[in-house]
Structure 1
Amino acid sequence: MIAIVFSLYFILSCLIFAKFNNQAQIRGFFCNFKRMRRMLLLTLLWAISARAAAQKIPVNKYGLPVLTTRQQYDQLVKADSNQQLVNLEHYIPGIQKDVRYATTNNFTKQQLYTRTDIYLRLPAAKALKAVQTALRKKGYGLLIYDAYRPYHVTEAMFKIVPNDLYAADPRKGSGHNRGVAIDLSMVDLKTNKPVAMPTDFDDFTRKAHQNYMPSDPVIAANRKILRDAMFQHGFKGSSTEWWHFYLPDYKKYPLMDIFF
C-alpha cells in the first residue's frame, strides 16, 4: 500500500512540474503536499498497526484463537467495523426475545447467562433486520432464543450433551461464539404469541430436524416461512435444529469469550 502511495506521489510530481513553470508556485505546492503526505503515511501506519494488533489473538488449550478481553475486541473492531457486536433490541425495531440460557428453562437446567442482552456481528444484524422487515409484511415477527454466546458457555453445554449434532464441540467452536449464529422462532403479530413449530427450542428429537414432516400443515407452513425468510437473506440452516441459522462466512469472525 505504501509503495502505491509513493508511486502516485512520483506521478503527481511529474504532472506538477509539467504544469507549473514558476518555481515559487512549485515550492508552495510541495510544501502543502508534504504535509498531506505525512498525514497520509501516519494514517496508513496506524491502520497497519491496528490490523496487526487485531490479528494477535491468543490461542486456547485446543489451539483455537479466542478473544478473551474487551481490549482485544476493541482492536479488532478498529481494524474492521464489521466485527462489532450490535445489540439487536436497539438495532431491529419490534424484535422479541426469550433468552432461555438466562433461566433454568433450557436443556442444561442451569442458568448460563446473567444478562438477557442479545448481540450479533454487524453483517448478521443487518441480514436479520431484513428478515424482520420481510416477516412483518406477512404478519409475523422474530423471537430470539440465543445469539452471541461466550465460548465458555459452549464448553459447559458440551459437557452436558457431548454430541456435536446438538451442542457445538469446543474443539471447533460455535457460530454463536463468533457472533454470526442465531436461534429463533416467530410470533404472530395479531396475538403477540409464538407460532406453533414442530418442537420447543432445544428439543433433541428427530422432530426438530429440518427434514421432519409434521402432520399439522400449519406447523409445517410456519417452519417454512421462517426458513425461507432466513435463507433469502443470506443465512444457512442446521439440519437438526429448525431454530438455528448462521452466516456461511462465519470463519471471518473470531471466537470470543467475553460478556457484553
Structure 2
Amino acid sequence: MLVGCTQARSGVAPEAAEGSADAVTGASCPLLPEGFDYVRDVDPSIAVELRYATRANFTGEVIDGYESESAAVLRDDAAEALAAVQSSLAGQGLELLVFDAYRPTRAVQFFMDWAQTDDDATQAEYYPTFEKSQLFELGYIAERSKHSLGGTVDLTLIDSATGVPLDMGGEFDLFDLRSHYEAEGLDAAQFENRTRLREAMLAAGFEPYPQEWWHFSFPLPESAGARNFAIGPC
C-alpha cells in the first residue's frame, strides 16, 4: 500500500519550499497552506492510493492537480478525525484505505471538461447504466465539490493482516444505483461492510453521502473556502 508524505515545517513560502523526504519514494513534499495537513503526518498507518493521480479512474486520465499517488491532504480537524477512525478500527482488525481527499478546483474543472467530450471509453466500467451527460444532474459529479474545501474523503476498509479491501458490493467511483449505501441486491456481508465503515466515520463526526458508500465529509467552518493548490509532487 502507498502512504502519504511528510511535509517540512519552516517559514519558507509554500510555492518555493521543499519538504522532508517521503518514507516511500524518497521525494519531498511541498509545504501546505495553513490549516492543512498531509494525512501521513497525522497518522502514517492510514493507507493511501490516490486514484486521480493515475489513469485508474472514470476519466481514464491523470487528473490535473494530482502530482502524487500518496500525498493525501485534509484540513487539520478532518485529518485528526480520520486518525480517530483508524484507531477505532484496530480492535476489528481493520484499517482505512483513502482513494481521494482534498481535491484542487482545477481537478473539478477537469471533470467538467471531460463531461463535454464524446469519449466514453470508461463507461462500461464506471457508469454502465447512465450517459455521461447525466452524471452531474444525478449527483455523481459536482460542479463545486466539497473535496475542494479539504474536509471530504473517499475511502474504504481493508483487512489489517492482508491489506485486501473488504467487499463493498461495488467499486469506488462506480456511478450506479449499486453505489447507494442502501442499494438493492447487496448480500448481507457487503451491507455489513458498508455499515462498519459508515458507523466508524459517523462516530468521528463525518457525514455520509447516501449515493456513494465511500464518500464522507467532515463539518467545516463557513470561512472554509475552495482551494486550488496541487497535491505534490512528492
Confirm or deny a common fold (TM above 0.5).
yes
1:236 aligns with 2:189: no
In 2: Cα distance, 1:197 partner to 1:158 partner:
28
Distance in 2, matches of 1:249 and 1:213, equals 32
5+ residue gaps, structure 1: 1-68, 78-83
Is the 2:169–2:186 contact (alpha carbons within 8 Å) kept by the matching residues of 1? Answer: no
Three-state SS of the structure 2 residue aligned to 1:194 is coil
State which structure, 1 or 2, has the greater radius of gyration over its C-alpha atoms.
1
Aligned position for 1:127: 81
> Do residues 248 (structure 1) and 219 (structure 2) align?
yes
- Asked if residue 163 in structure 1 is aligned to residue 136 in structure 2, the reply is yes
Aligned residues: 180
- Distance in 2, matches of 1:259 and 1:105, equals 19
Gaps of 5+ in 2: 1-13, 17-30, 116-131
- Is residue 188 from structure 1 mapped to residue 188 from structure 2 by the alignment? no
Report SS of the residue matched to 1:237.
strand
Residues in 1 aligned to 2:60 and 2:164: alpha-carbon distance in whole angstroms: 24
* Cα distance in 2 for residues equivalent to 1:220 and 1:110: 31
| Cα deviation 1:42-64 (Å, max 9, x = unaligned) | xxxxxxxxxxxxxxxxxxxxxxx
Q: Kindly indicate whether residue 159 of structure 2 is the aligned counterpart of residue 206 of structure 1.
A: no
Q: Is contact 1:92–1:129 with CA below 8 Å preserved after alignment?
A: yes
- Asked whether the equivalents of residues 67 and 230 of structure 2 are also in contact (C-alpha less than 8 Å), the reply is no
1:70 Cα deviation after fit: 5.5
User: Of Structure 1 and Structure 2, which has the larger fraction of its residues in helix?
Assistant: 1
Q: What is residue 220 of structure 1 aligned with on the other side?
A: 191
Secondary structure of the 1:166 match is coil
Question: What is the 5 A alignment of 1:165-180?
Answer: 165-169=139-143, 173-180=144-151
Question: Counterparts of 1:142 and 1:151 in 2: how far apart (Å)?
Answer: 25
Task: Tell me the residue number matched to 2:37.
Answer: 86
Query: Following superposition of structure 1 onto structure 2, how do residues 15-164 of structure 1 map, counting pairs within 5 Å?
Result: 77=34, 84-112=35-63, 113-116=66-69, 117-159=71-113, 160=115, 163-164=136-137
Whether the 8 Å contact between 1:180 and 1:250 is mirrored in structure 2 is no
Give the structure, 1 or 2, with the largest relative contact order (CA under 8 Å, sep 6 or more).
2
Provide the TM-score with structure 2 as the length reference.
0.72
Give the deviation of 1:93 after TM superposition. Answer: 3.3
Sequence identity percentage:
32
